[in-house]
A and B are shown apart, each in its own frame.
Chain A
Amino acid sequence: MIGSDAAGPTAIQAAFDRAKAEDRAALVIYLTATYPDTATSRACMEAAVDAGADVIEVGIPFSDPMMDGPTIQAANQHVLDAGRSVSEQLAFVADLAHLDVPRLAMTYVTIADMRGYARFADECADAGLSGVILPDLPAAEAGPWLAEAERRELATVFLASSVSTDERLAAIAQVSSGWVYAAGLLGVTGVRSISGDVTRDLVARIRQHTDLPVAVGIGVKDRASAAEVARYADGVIVGSAVIRAAGERDPDGAPDRVHALVSELRAGVASG
């Protein structure tokens, strides 16, 4: 067991190590909490893990998600329209303890800040999460959050971009724990396809500053793109494509659709 009782960064590192021992990249799957409904969402998370996800990012919806394209925006809005509070979403997350992979919350600074960083860190840790991703929290503003995250042994994954200077990459590598998230393109989630050469170059640049795993997300959507990224990155992150599988058509079929897609992606990361 990857031990949800292990400290966050350790549990995440173990997941990446296990993938590496199998000579493949780790597969990180993003799913929005309670989307499209609580039962379906839970079944989709289970399906993703069963099909080979190594890490789960659980999206906590925010009304104004600046980094997200139409697919994840719509999923966020769907959950908010259903009136599910952040507390309910965190309770849902706490109920995923049976999933034998590390889970991280993905949300925006506004949500964490409104609860207060201390309370948010407590709630995430108490819900069994290993870490948190806040895509609009730059390293320079991260001090107060990091203090709380470290107090509860939560990893904080920071994003790096192809336009980040080396100086910024060094700062990102320094504050990041769990892994460093390399953006696969300049843009928001779920719209364009990954920029191959630029991303490969970014991953190489990040590696000059850290021994942490480097995972690539934004723009990866299918087996082929997962395989391509797996050739040079330690992890492959897929979100919008999974949300489409979960949300399109009937909820009853969602877990099977997610299972099928994640199986494909898992085959991709293994062939890369």
Chain B
Amino acid sequence: MSRLTDPTAPSEEAVREGYFGAFGGSFVPEALSGALAQLADAWRAAQKDGAFAEQLDRLRRDYGGRPTPLYRAERLSEVAGVEVWLKREDLAHTGSHKLNNVVGQALLTQRMGKPRVIAETGAGQHGVATATAAALFGLDCTVYMGAEDVRRQRLNVVRMQLLGAEVVPVDSGTRTLKDAINEAMRDWVSNVDDTHYLIGSAMGPHPFPSIVRELQSVISVESTQQFDFQAGGLPDAVIACVGGGSNAIGSFAEWIDVDGVKLIGVEAAGEGVGSGRSAATISEGREAVLHGSRSIVLIDDDGQVLPAHSVSAGLDYPGVGPEHAFLARSGRATYVAATDQEALDGFRRTCELEGIIPALEPAHAVGWVLAHGRAELGDGARVVLTMSGRGDKDVDEVLEVAGFDVGVAKAFGEGEA
């Protein structure tokens, strides 16, 4: 039974309090406080309503293609020196884990009687998932996307437009995910009476981090059972990339209380931790308030948010969801970072060894396992790695950034391909 259907589960506490230890809370303009209270009420009511769980299950299964497989990646494992099991969110409808959250929040939007949704998107995957659900539910949809991300994730812009969404490029600030969130918040403040802000990650003001976590926990509800059935015993580690933290928290959720299973979040190190051009929020950041909650943020002494840098638009964010800050400080989860170069290596190896073109975001998790997995986890350790999305959207960017053409060697060193 998932926490979604079990009202006695511990995360009820988090939903009520709005805090994970010192992190979380709700720092928003007054105009949004009512909408957040309404959302918390709708969510509480939905959790008690068997019909909601049923609708959600049916949509996930028949429309979304769940459960997604857990797949033992043998050739990748051989090269990595650890046994890698991929949780195949890339095979879910729309090509990433993002639909898990979106379908649930779209049902809540309906229950609240709101006719319009807005969303931020970095890689475009959350925007595509939101546009998809908006089409399915007959909702108006506006997606805010940093102008730099519009450029590097063009395929997803076209997909959103085909699905009937309006895509608004955001030119302010760093022109990436952070600024798209600011703009979505401003839209929400202006249209809160008829609009739901369908936040795409386990971040933002309470109750979003709890709602998104519960909706994404389907990943680990499935993977715990699948691993037990297919592999037997417990994995040594569960590994996922961390942008805002939704696929990671969903991948961790059911394992958090399981002793002996390491939880490893992989952030984007861009040009390297300490280079001044990274998105490794937990590795390099400090406690601060951003986008409605207290968490860990890349921020300067003055409280000005620093620009993040990553080859991956979905991880290019100077904040992280509050529960990850809590898990990091409590020591239950460990957060590491993979550079652009390690991610591109993970991207290439996953293509060539497994016939899977991964999104650049989970390519960071693969890249970390290839570079550090054996040393950190031991020879032959068994890991469940969330392949959070597929990489069609990234092929243009990989070509441009890495010069990844048929003559692979040029950009990737000597590689044995």
Contacts and interface: CB of A to CB of B under 8 A. Distances in A.
Interface residues on B, range: 20 to 34
Interface stretch (A38-46, A107-115, A248-256): A107-115
Given A114-B302, A186-B189, A188-B189, A172 B182 contact: no
Contacts, number: 111
Interface of A: 62-67, 69-70, 73, 77, 80, 85-87, 109-115, 135-138, 140-141, 158-161, 163-165, 168, 172, 183, 186-188, 191-192
A163 B34 contact: yes
A40 B34 CA distance: 40
B192 A186 contact: yes
Interface string B271-308: 00000000000000000111110100001011111000
B299 to A, nearest CB: 7
A188 B34 contact: no
A66 B31 contact: no
A168 B30 contact: yes
B34 A66 contact: no
Contacts of B172: 70, 73, 77
Interface in B228-245: none
B14 to A, nearest CB: 16
B279 to A, nearest CB: 16
B29 interface: yes
B182 A64 contact: yes
A268 to B, nearest CB: 25
Given A141-B25, A188-B190, A159 B30 contact: yes
Contacts of A161: 29-31, 33-34
A191 B294 CA distance: 29
B185 interface: yes
11 contacts: A66-B189, A67-B186, A67-B189, A110-B299, A112-B303, A136-B29, A138-B27, A141-B26, A165-B34, A186-B193, A187-B186
Contacts of B186: 66-67, 69, 187-188
Given A110-B299, A114-B303, 14 more contacts: A62-B303, A69-B186, A86-B302, A86-B303, A113-B288, A135-B30, A136-B29, A138-B27, A138-B33, A141-B25, A159-B30, A165-B34, A186-B191, A187-B190
Contact of B34 (A63, A86, A87, A168): A168
Nearest to A161: B31
B296 to A, nearest CB: 13
A114 B299 contact: yes
B189 A63 contact: no
